[in-house]
Amino acid sequence: MAEDLNLTSLKPAQSRKDRKRVGRGIGSGKGRYSGRGIKGQKSRAGSHKMRAGFEGGQMPIYMRLGKLRGATSKDAMPIGPFRTSTAPINVGSLDRFEDGAEVTPESLVEKGLLKNTKTDVKLLGNGELKKKLTIRVHGISATAREKVEQAGGTVSLLKEPKVKKRKKHAKPKPAAAAPAAEAAETPETDAPVAENAAPEPEQADQAEEQAPEEE
């Protein structure tokens, strides 16, 4: 027969473990240094609030290793601080859907093809597809689109594809020294003589000598 329930026989349904009491004397097992040891950074207050990747002041591993080359803009993938990525799904793995079903990121999670919907989904063309499906994903390759349409399905994108920006090539500026060089090469032309210009002194004397002979 079970014992009568009273205040002296009360027990928890599950045994509880006593909490660790530190700094309560050497006899407690966690006295004096309270389990932190003697001196050092980790014996100080607040030492266990170090950020991830902190290595005590030495050069951390993420700064010692080399980095990938390339742009670090928001559109760069997968390089840079704004790196983006997509979850690849091949058309060959869509056979587990019924004919005429709608394929979305949520349905891919239900079928176990996708872990979660936080990452964009891109459909790739590896494998064969024989079912007519309505597919709604963030991106799709040209091969995958061709196979889906051949099977009678349709594709609609949840995100508009990015248009690649074309680099504008700077036009060469005309050389400013070219006109000056052409002007220097052309020979100087003699200035036109005015009709009413005064004759030189030698010519004037010859004209006076010829005048009495004609008379």
How many whole angstroms separate alpha carbon 119 and alpha carbon 26? 54
- In 3-state terms, what secondary structure has residue 127? coil
Please report the pLDDT score of residue 71 as a whole number. 61
Please report the pLDDT score of residue 2 as a whole number. 61
Please report the pLDDT score of residue 215 as a whole number. 45
How many whole angstroms separate alpha carbon 109 and alpha carbon 120? 12
Using DSSP, how many helices (H) and how many strands (E) does the chain show?
5, 6
Residue type, 144: A
Please state whether beta strands 134-137 and 102-103 pair in parallel, antiparallel, or not at all (unpaired): parallel
Whether the Cβ atoms of residue 139 and residue 87 lie closer than 8 Å to each other: no
Supply φ then ψ for residue 140, to 5 degrees.
Answer: -150, 145
User: Tens-of-pLDDT digits for all 215 residues of the chain?
Assistant: 467 888 888 888 888 888 889 999 999 999 999 999 999 988 999 888 989 999 989 999 989 987 766 666 655 555 555 566 789 999 999 999 999 999 999 999 999 999 999 889 999 999 999 999 999 999 999 999 999 999 999 999 998 877 777 777 767 766 655 555 565 666 555 555 555 555 565 665 665 666 555 44
Supply φ then ψ for residue 56, to 5 degrees.
Answer: 80, 10
Could you tell me which of 156, 109, 164 has the C-alpha nearest to residue 133? 156
0.85 surpassed by pTM: no
Three-class SS string for 142-192?
HHHHHHHHHCCCEEEECCCCCCCCCCCCCCCCCCCHHHHHHHHHCCCCCCC
Whether the Cβ atoms of residue 123 and residue 114 lie closer than 8 Å to each other: no
Whether the Cβ atoms of residue 133 and residue 123 lie closer than 8 Å to each other: no
Q: In what order do the strands lie in the sheet with 134-137?
A: 102-103, 134-137, 154-157
